[in-house]
Structure 1
Amino acid sequence: MIALIDTIAIWFPGALALLALICASGFFSGSETAIFYLSRAELRQFSKGKSSEQIVAALAADADRLLTAVLFWNLLINLSYFAVSGVIAKELADEGQPAAAGFFTVGSLLAIILFGEVLPKSLSIVFRKKIAIMVSWPLAFSIRVLDPVIPMLQNISRLMRRTFWPHIQKESYLHSEDLERAVDASGASEEVIRHERQILHNILDLSEILVEEAMRPRGTYLTFKMPLQLEDLTRITPNTDYIILRKQGVDSEEIDRIISLSELSSFSTSSLNKKSKRVIHVPWCSNLADVYTRFQAEECNFASVVDEYGETIGIVAFDDIIDTILSPEPSRARRILRRDPVREVESGVYHVEGITTLRYLCRKLQQEYEIADDGLLTVAGMFHEKLERIPEVGDVCDWQGYQLEVIEVRKLGHLVAELKPQPPGDSEEEED
């Protein structure tokens, strides 16, 4: 330590240069971590924000250009740092201070690791949004300086990859069977594997399930005209999850905003309407995978389902899709009724709600479900299709070896049917 103090005139000017290089290294290391650690939602928010936020979103959109520039500057700074450190250590050794030279070399190495890499990256993870905004302008300038040489650097990288690793190929598309085998090989317990496989199947089924199957159909929710008043809340029932707001037009039925009751704790007349969320519009023939993608892209949690005439026939929420993924037996009827829509009243005999989907009914009866060519989705829809009129108590319908009989009609379109195995004589007649 005394030797270092005695030789301060030798190493101090160089130490100032090393300090500047450490700051520069920390700047690029922290900038890289902060921008690449931003989530998609945060980047979408930045793309609509202030100029500095838009710069961050633009840099993240061209990740190859950003990463190439950051790595180039980091490499140049680190090489300069160790070159200056080596010169200072040599001068100390030439002055007969080998111990001081060794101490300075080790100290400079630890300094750039700690203050040039570890500390900046750690802070950038915690304060990524603030740091990304702070570094946006200088980082964009440093990348713009390298724009003439970045294509050449990328070509060199591509050439080296093709020279030394010519057989690297893009992985083929993973099929559901491959994913299932990966779950089976995970080494988890049988119970965990069963749940993982079920969730995996639910995720893959999103591309097959139409939004019409998962939506809350019109008539199962109340709608109000904007702006909502506190006295309107007296019409809400205990089963209400969302408050649907229509546009202010006299004859308008188009859904404009939705309020989630789960997000309300305290409110007033003025704040109640401010808590409403915007709605996107999707066609009834869309699948849940497409709707989920739109939710993510447009930062929205609610969709109005419209038919071919542009009329609203139901709503679907982001939470409904998550329930479809995570629930062992996903059912939109259970979400609406707050109970199981298929109840076994005695052995082999079930009471089925009309809004129950045929997909859920097949799963409940442990049968394979195939999408029908006629587009039938629900039990009530099947009665309407086969009877060609509004079902009444006593109407009977045969379906996949079962017989359904309407035992209750609560109101227009809402019915309860009793399902039981089809009598042997009826099945033989149907085969003839």
Structure 2
Amino acid sequence: MDDISTGLLFALLACLIVISAYFSGSETGMMSLNRYRLKHLSNTGHKGAKRVERLLERPDRLIGLILIGNNLVNILASAIATIIGMRLYGDMGVAIATGVLTLVVLVFAEVTPKTVAALYPEKVSYISSVLLSVLMKVLSPLVVFVNLITNTFIRLLGLKPQSQGDDSLNPEELRTVVNEAGGLIPRRHQDMLISILDLEHVTVNDIMVPRNEITGININDDWKSIVRQLTHSPHGRVVLYRDQIDEVVGMLRLRDASRLMLEKNEFNKETLLRAADEVYFIPESTPLNVQLLKFQRNKERVGLIVDEYGDIVGLITLEDILEEIVGEFTTSMAPSLAEEITPQSDGSFLIEGSANIRDINKSLRWKLPTDGPRTLNGLILEHLEHIPESKLSLFVAKHPMEIVELEENRIKLVKVFPTKVRKQS
């Protein structure tokens, strides 16, 4: 070293700092990559992504290579800085060199390159992977030797060096990914994806048409009444029953009834019953994602929901499940959520008691409890534990509410305030 000029030592030191910055930035860039985007780019044939993916197949070796290179460079830089310091300031130069080199390495070889790599991980990783791939082949024996010693020490600590974390996402993590996609995925598509993930948490009981709203035809009615109901029915299928809905006898498609009407000699109760399909029954606790698959597997579009005693509690169609994913269809005969919720000038909302709580939460971004009753009427009655005889005010799930209108044994209309809006005294 004595034969080397001080100027050349400074140049060599600067070169080592640049190399140290390369290793530091490469490490941060590689570890900051979005693994799913990397896999996507690799599958589409991106050369840089394929190189990086090969390096990341053994992250222990990649980190070992980077740390070997970084430490060798930093130790050599420290030695050169010490020589320069002693040449310029004598014995005091050791302390001066240590302080100055620490600051230089911290700023130019650590913080700056790692910050840049964290901001632009793909650009840094794809470029640095070219040299790292070469170094991995050249220094492979040294990397394997160092990893062997490291893994042996890790085993002595009772750990498994080869165990790798699971890169799979659970539904909650996937939901976060979708929500954080921002402008990459249109908001409408985000809502649909989230709705698909929510299907497993929603049962058919949550979205069914309740028993008292099922429109069917009593086969024991007068024949003219039956024909009139068939010709005026707004639905594509109707339930046929005897006297009460629990005695269901079939599910009739109106297009089959229309065909029979054209054959006047064949149009009577007997032919109507023969044309009806067998009823498809569904347990009330069936998750929507399961029922969607069952509809597909059994080639069914509508089913009657039964409770644990076999009594009919509601009806659900394939369209009902699809509406949970894509939103309401304009052809739906049921009242839309916009018709059930009316905004008021004071920030409150007039809401029909029959409005579905889950729909209210999705529309207004509220968090009313959904683990109990399905409707706002049911939620208030559960909270009161009795049927109110007159209008009253109450708090439910931190929301101030006023019962505005009662009808028989149910709450018909409620005024609800958001949690941040307080009723004016």
TM-score normalized with structure 2 length: 0.48
TM-score when normalising by structure 1: 0.48
Larger Rg, first or second structure (1 or 2): 2
